[in-house]
Amino acid sequence: MYNDVKKQHYIWEFYLKAWCFEGNKVWCNRNGNIFNASTENVAQERRFYEISPLTKDEKGLIEAGINSIPKENRNILKLKLINLIEYGLYSDNTRKNALESEYADMEQRTVSILQSIRNGAIDVLDNQYKKNIFSIFLGMQYTRTPKCRNGKINCLPEGRFQISDNFRFYWNYIFFSDDIGSWISSSKTSLLKNETDFPFITGDQPVINIKSDYDCTPAKEIRLYYPISPKLALLFDEKELFDNLISAEDVLFYNKKIKQACEALVISNKKETVENV
């Protein structure tokens, strides 16, 4: 039996608290609507991770995807598919809460790592085990958002397969979460320090590829960005480390990218920031 969580956050609430003012409030811009809200009530949706039983077509498409990759990489994907199938077939409690519980468990394993980085101790990621944990979490965070749930898989012919609105989310859960985590684990990590008057913002897609234009054309390069507070952010690159201290122009560039990547919501600790982003 899982804890029954009705308000299911797609952005970790503990993470959002770095942008709080007056205790537990953050400033938000949702499609031009400016408001403040508590972290309990923002970046969440009722039963966001509820799972419906996989259709025959969904199961077949995922199995075909698994069988298309090298055999040595298939086992973990098969286990994740089994999880999805079982979550969808068990009790209402399981369907509504199993994935929420899975993400919450990973968040708890990440708390001390994120706290260390926020305190400036980026060397916590020199420990490969801890970097692996943090990387798995970031892969999950990248793929558990409204943007990753609501999009379509463009290569599937319209109307040919019986698939649910959540199919892209299931696909990303199985295939891309671990891929992104693995890429981050082997990348170089830079801690960006913002001493300007402009805070870093975050949004409903907080892990982003700054090499993407977010215009539906595939990015040719990968450089992942993850703001962790109004004053600190992480940058992941295959080859390069970057200067820690950045300019106001840099901050505005990263904030623009967060806005481009979001589905609907950007978040800050300052009202004027979300008004002008």
pLDDT digits (tens, 9 = 90+) for 116-153: 999 999 999 999 999 999 999 999 999 999 998 886 55
b/e code 141-160 from CB counts within 10 Å (16+ = b): bbbbbbbbbeeeeeeeeeee
Confidence (pLDDT) at 215: 81
Confidence (pLDDT) at 165: 81
Q: What is the mean pLDDT of the chain?
A: 94
65-123 pLDDT, tens digit each: 999 999 998 999 999 999 999 999 999 999 999 999 999 999 999 999 999 999 999 99
Decide if 144 is inside a domain: yes
Question: How many beta carbons lie within 10 A of that of residue 195, not counting itself?
Answer: 10
- Tell me the residue range of the domain where 81 lies: 7-276
Decide if 1 is inside a domain: no
Decide if 136 is inside a domain: yes
Decide if 106 is inside a domain: yes
Decide if 2 is inside a domain: no
Q: In this predicted model, which residue has the larger pLDDT, 41 or 163?
A: 41
**Total structural domains in the chain?**
1
Distances from the Cα of 277 to the Cαs of 41, 205, 232, in angstroms?
22, 15, 18
Decide if 148 is inside a domain: yes
Confidence (pLDDT) at 269: 98
CB 26 within 8 A of CB 16: yes
Decide if 11 is inside a domain: yes
| Nearest partner of 236 among 194, 200, 195, 183, judged by Cα | 183
Decide if 211 is inside a domain: yes
pTM reported for the whole predicted model: 0.94
* For residue 5, pLDDT beyond 90: yes
